[in-house]
Amino acid sequence: MDTIMLARIQFGISLGFHYIFPQTTLGLALIILIAEWRYVATGEEAWKRISTLLSRFLGLVFAFGVATGLVLPFSFGMNWGKFSVFSAPVFGTQLAIEAMVAFTLEAVFLSIVMFGRERVSKRAYLASVFFVFLGSHLSAFFIISANSWLQTPAGYAIEAGRLVLADWVAATFNPSTGIRFLHAVTAAWISGFFFVLAISSCLIAQNRRRADAKRLFSLAAALSLAFGLLQPLLGHQQIMEVLRHQPVKDAAYEGIFESVNGAPLIGFGLPDAANRQIRFALSIPKGLSFLESGNPDSFVKGLNDFPVETWPPVNVIFTTFHIMVPLAGVIIAVALSALYFTRKKERKPLEERPIFLRLVMLSAAAPYLANELGWIGAEMGRQPWTISGLLMTKDAGTAAQGKGTVAFSLSLFALVYAVLAVLFWKFTTAAVKSVPQTASEGGDHASA
């Protein structure tokens, strides 16, 4: 294994582990904003208790997000020297802007959300919650914009071999930014909603603040269903964008090797890129052609018509894509049944369905897995390029970086992430257990 491969593994692990936390933050911040808004609008104390309860989890998730996110910009400097020096005028600028306008907003107002409720007015507190929401979403926007620039670079010029920022607006709103932002943020929200569903299921099952937990459960279930249904439409738009700008990546996603009129939509199969085929494929005839153009007999260009050296790792991205898509079905099914069991007419209350509650808790893994797989597909699908058409991954490393150095930081980080994962699990369960039991608390009294 060469240095570049080790560096790729390190970056993949760092990013994949980090991304557990921000995707939670995005959805959690939205639910807290809704709860706080309902509190200010209706004056109901239950919404205030819900907002306070969730902001503790937000603080925990945010702390782990910062801890793991700190590594990322420095990783560029450590292992991706040539990439950093080349891309700094555009890519570095986006990271700097993200830090200055987005991350700061979120971090600074989070102190008011977590510690300042008694020190500011109701409306100032709601505004602080809104700024945390805004900051985290601006952060998502600039990071996804920077990543989209790697996929579909724009707004740059090359002068004397160096990259130059020519048009910041064009670079920021490059051809793939918009749809990728919508698709990724919706996916992240669903993770946040399922995080809340899991927490509230746990609270209901353990009889902690049960009335509040049920209210929260219904809200998270309704949001999960709404955005779970929206997501396939956004996913389709995203795939159409990939088809326009990264046709090789699209052919690999869909597993189409032979160019053909009326290409099938493969729902399942085992990819075998070496022999240029998908084994045991279950497919809908002409389905892909129909999805791409509305015409079942339209032409689809297959991988065989692209040079092999421009192929991404087909087996990996076909597989991740074909696990991600069915997970959308799991998400919709869980959200639908969660809503069904919280109907007003339902005679058996949720707390008498322990198995269902447990299933909801377990299903929280689905959106997280879908997010991670989606990003693995997006990033590995860009290979062999780090910046599409401009810089190949094999040329992006740090010149003098020895294999030992990368192996050292890789094993160090992997160890630390394992410890952090255990700690996060412990702290989250401890936070759930610190919520008072309904009976002993005498009517859900707020305790900050």
Partner 1 sequence: MQAPSILQTFWFCALASVFLVFFLLDGFDMGIGMALPFFSKEESERKKLIDIAWPFWDGNELWAIIGGSCLFAAFPYAFVALIGGLAPVVALLLVFLMFRTVSFEAWYKDPSRRRFWEYAQAAGSFLLAFGFGLLSGNLIAGLPMTETGAFAGSPLSAFQPYAILTGLLAAAAALMHGAAYVRKKSAGAVRDKATRLARGTFPAVAVLSAAAFAWTAVIVPEAMTRFPFLLGVAGAVAFGVSFRVSLGRPGDRAPFRWSAAAMVCVWIAGASALFPYLIRPAAGGPPAAGGPAAVGPAAGGPGLSLAAASSPASTLSFLAVFATAALAVVAFYTVFVYRTFKGKTASDEAAH
90 or 317: CB nearest partner 1: 90
323 or 421: CB nearest partner 1: 421
125 or 253: CB nearest partner 1: 125
323 or 420: CB nearest partner 1: 420
* Cβ burial, residue 344 (10 Å; 0-12/13-18/19+): exposed
172 or 246: CB nearest partner 1: 172
Judge contact between 412 and 177, C-beta under 8 A. no
Question: Which residues are within 8 A (CB) of 198 and not within 5 positions of it... i.e. 6 or more apart?
Answer: 360, 361, 364
Judge contact between 141 and 119, C-beta under 8 A. no
H-helix or E-strand containing 282?
strand 277-284
- The Cα–Cα gap between 318 and 273 comes to 10
Q: How many residues bind partner 1 (CB under 8 A)?
A: 75
159 or 309: CB nearest partner 1: 159
Judge contact between 191 and 371, C-beta under 8 A. yes
Residue numbers 425-444 binding partner 1 by CB under 8 A: 426-427, 430-431
Residue numbers 15-74 binding partner 1 by CB under 8 A: 52, 55-56, 59-60, 62-64, 66-68, 70-71, 73-74
x/- track of binding to partner 1 for residues 72-111 (CB under 8 A): -xx-xxxx-x--xx--xxx-xx-xxxxxxx-xxx-xxxxx
Tokens 């509190």 correspond to what residue? Answer: 39
Q: Are strands 162-165 and 156-159 parallel, antiparallel or unpaired?
A: antiparallel
**Least spacing, CB of residue 175 vs partner 1, in Å:** 21
134 or 357: CB nearest partner 1: 134
Among 21, 318, 341, 413, binds partner 1 (CB under 8 A): 413
Q: In a 3-state reduction of DSSP, which class is residue 264? A: coil
3 binds partner 1 (CB under 8 A): no
41 or 412: CB nearest partner 1: 412
**Least spacing, CB of residue 79 vs partner 1, in Å:** 7
274 or 399: CB nearest partner 1: 399
The one-letter code for the residue type at 127 is: A
**Least spacing, CB of residue 355 vs partner 1, in Å:** 29
x/- track of binding to partner 1 for residues 128-167 (CB under 8 A): ---x---------------------------x--x-xxx-
261 or 434: CB nearest partner 1: 434
Dig out the tokens for 278 from the structure.
Answer: 């998908």
**Least spacing, CB of residue 167 vs partner 1, in Å:** 10
x/- track of binding to partner 1 for residues 334-363 (CB under 8 A): ------------------------------
Residue numbers 266-305 binding partner 1 by CB under 8 A: none
Side-chain half-sphere exposure of 62, counting CA atoms within 13 A:
25
Dig out the tokens for 177 from the structure.
Answer: 């930014």
Residue numbers 379-408 binding partner 1 by CB under 8 A: 398-402, 405-406, 408
**Least spacing, CB of residue 409 vs partner 1, in Å:** 4
Nearest to 335 by CA among 230, 189, 234, 222: 222
**416 to 61, 76, 362, 430: CA distances (angstroms):** 17, 19, 25, 21
392 or 448: CB nearest partner 1: 448
H-helix or E-strand containing 279?
strand 277-284
Among 20, 35, 50, 112, binds partner 1 (CB under 8 A): 112
Among 13, 40, 120, 333, binds partner 1 (CB under 8 A): 120
Q: In a 3-state reduction of DSSP, which class is residue 259? A: coil
77 or 285: CB nearest partner 1: 77
**Least spacing, CB of residue 1 vs partner 1, in Å:** 18
* Cβ burial, residue 36 (10 Å; 0-12/13-18/19+): buried
**Least spacing, CB of residue 124 vs partner 1, in Å:** 9
**Least spacing, CB of residue 80 vs partner 1, in Å:** 8
**Least spacing, CB of residue 106 vs partner 1, in Å:** 9
416 binds partner 1 (CB under 8 A): yes
- The Cα–Cα gap between 381 and 262 comes to 24
User: DSSP characters for 64-108?
Assistant: HHHHHHTHHHHHHHHH-HHHHHHHIIIIIHHHHHIIIIIIHHHHH
**Least spacing, CB of residue 306 vs partner 1, in Å:** 33
Count CB atoms within 10 A of the CB of residue 56: 14
Residue numbers 166-185 binding partner 1 by CB under 8 A: 166, 168
Q: Provide the phi-psi class of 288: left if phi over 0, else alpha when psi is between -120 and 50, else beta.
A: alpha
User: DSSP characters for 151-163?
Assistant: HS--SEEEETTEE
**Least spacing, CB of residue 117 vs partner 1, in Å:** 8
